Each structure stands twice: as C-alpha cells, then as structure tokens.
Amino acid sequence: MPRIYFGVGTGELLGLMGEAGADVVGVDWRVPLDEAARRVQPGKALQGNLDPAVLLAPWPVVEERARDVLGRGRSAEGHVFNLGHGVLPETDPGVLARLTDLVHADSVRPDA
C-alpha cells in the first residue's frame, strides 16, 4: 500500500518527507509542483496542490489555476491532482463537479 505524507506549510520539508519513506508527497498550494518535484528525490509522486480558496473565484480563474497545477504536475514522476488542503465550507459543490470534469478531461492519456 502506498504511503502518502502530507503537511501544510511543509515546503522546506518535502525532500525529508520523501526520504522518510513516502511513496507520494503531498504538496500544499504554497509550493508550485515543478519546484516540489525538484525538492523530492526521483521515484516519488506528488499530490496536490490547488489552493482551496481559488474555488471561490469565478470559473475562468479556477480553470486557469487548475490547468497550471496540472501542467506543473507533469514535471513529477506521478501526480494526483488534489486541493492543497481541504474544501472550504462555502465552496459550491457545482464548482467541485466542474473541476473534477476538467481534471478528468485534461488527464486523459493518448494511449488510454
């Protein structure tokens, strides 16, 4: 079973989290995923890292930020799209559904 380590505000600890035995290192929204991939040794996947507050913005902003996270996540050996930390209570569930559809559509591999 994969070991996932996640902490909020742990950008400077990402390498150590990988060294401590994580298979997947969770990244909050404070560190771009391409930078996180540089901090974590090879062989580790990343999880994250859309800022949950972005989901309160108009859809074009949500879409732009989500695509940025997806693009930067491609620099990692593996990437699980997720929020950088939890869903805010005032988040519209419709935005979450729309975001899920966007991530699924953008993540389809040509060989799949």
**Residue 71: CB atoms within 10 Å:** 12
Please give the Cα distance from 4 to 51 (Å, whole number).
Answer: 19
| The pLDDT value given to residue 112 | 54
Confidence check: pLDDT of 17 > 70: yes
Half-sphere exposure of 100 (CA within 13 A, CB side): 6
Is 53 within 8 Å of 93 (Cβ atoms)?
A: no
pLDDT above 80 (res 68): yes
Tell whether the model's pLDDT for residue 27 goes beyond 60.
Answer: yes
pLDDT at 35 over 90: yes
pLDDT in tens, 101-111: 999 999 876 66
Determine the pLDDT at residue 111: 63
